[in-house]
Amino acid sequence: MHTDAITRLQQHLRSALDPAPGEARRLLHGRGRRWPGLEQISVDWLQGILLVTLFRQPEPGQLAALEAMLPSLGQPVLLQHRYRPDCPAEWLAGAPLSTWQIDEDGLRYQLDLGNKQNSGLFLDMRYGRRWVRQQAAGKTVLNLFAYTCGFSIAAIAGGARQVVNLDMARAALSRGRDNHRLNQHDLSRVSFLAHDLFKSWGKVKRLGPFDLIIVDPPSLQKGSFVLSSDYPKILRRLPDLLNQDGLVLACCNDPDRGSAFLLDAVAREAPGLVFRERLENPPEFADIDPECGLKALVFQRTAQAGLSPTKAGP
């Protein structure tokens, strides 16, 4: 991250903030490798706060230059060092805050600032949440690896009859409950299960079958989830949890695994699921190789088990 790159970053952010987006947006996605010298930085606009994330430690002089430039943008700035243990964050401008609310597609979400690795909402999944909202009317929905229940918020807003959220992290589910309340949702239509999925298949099956299942796991969660070995275990269970013609939104954000990973795994483990489409990613998350970005693939259950899946997009 040399001086010229920091100057380009300053110019880009000034332009992006004139005027500032009306909702939360990523302003710079360096990890998409379309910004030479800025590959290890991202900048998110949180409707009044700039969240700047560093994924690799810069040289001391470069870090000092960045820290001097960011306050010149005239906005509160929170700088997070994701490369350090516990991902510490520091306020470079503005009064320190621990929580903050943002909007997305007219829905409200509460974020945690400065005390956790992730703030509580992954902005690259905006189109995925929008798709769920569009599909949800009258449906029963299972949201696996629910985190703070962003998909659940979208599903209830779209008229889902019932949503079951499952995640091992009670604190994340508690934030999800808060988010539903923030949007004045009827909590009698929402369940929150703080369970280990791999020890809870019986309970999940008793709550089904479902019209829509969302699978959005972490790429790696030490001690509980390994993408390459655990994702197939989930996929082989899905047909038994789905109603006829039920839908699955299967997601993968590992840059080292393209859409073929999911397509091949579904064809092998759940041949009764047919590929329907790959959702687009928001344009601000453009990557020089789309297969390195978020993969959000839609499958549908069919009675014709073994039907070959349609070829995926890029």
| Residue at a domain's end among 97, 132, 157 | 97
Residue ranges making up the domain that contains 168: 123-301
Answer yes or no: is pLDDT of 304 > 90: no
Do 85 and 196 reside in the same domain of the chain? no
Residues 78 and 133 in one domain: no
Task: Please check whether residues 237 and 283 belong to one and the same domain.
Answer: yes
Conformational region of residue 275, where left means phi above 0, alpha means psi within -120 to 50, and beta covers everything else = beta
Examine the domain organization and report whether 155 and 236 are in the same domain: yes
Q: 60-69 vs 3-16: helix axis angle to the nearest 10?
A: 20
**Are residue 60 and residue 185 in the same domain, yes or no?**
no
pLDDT digits (tens, 9 = 90+) for 45-95: 999 999 999 999 998 899 999 999 999 999 999 999 999 988 999 999 999
The reply to whether 128 and 84 lie within a common domain is: no
Q: Tell me if 248 is assigned to some domain.
A: yes
Entry pTM: 0.92
165 and 201 inside one domain: yes
Average pLDDT, the chain: 93
- For residue 257, what are the contacts with CB-CB under 8 A and spacing of at least 6? 227, 228, 295
Residues 136 and 56 in one domain: no
pLDDT in tens, 241-277: 999 999 999 999 999 999 999 999 999 999 999 999 9
Alpha carbon distances (Å) from 141 to 294, 298, 307: 22, 14, 24
Do 53 and 129 reside in the same domain of the chain? no
If asked whether residues 165 and 80 sit together in one domain, one would say no
Domains contained in the chain, number: 2
Say if strands 140-144 and 162-166 run parallel, antiparallel, or are unpaired: parallel
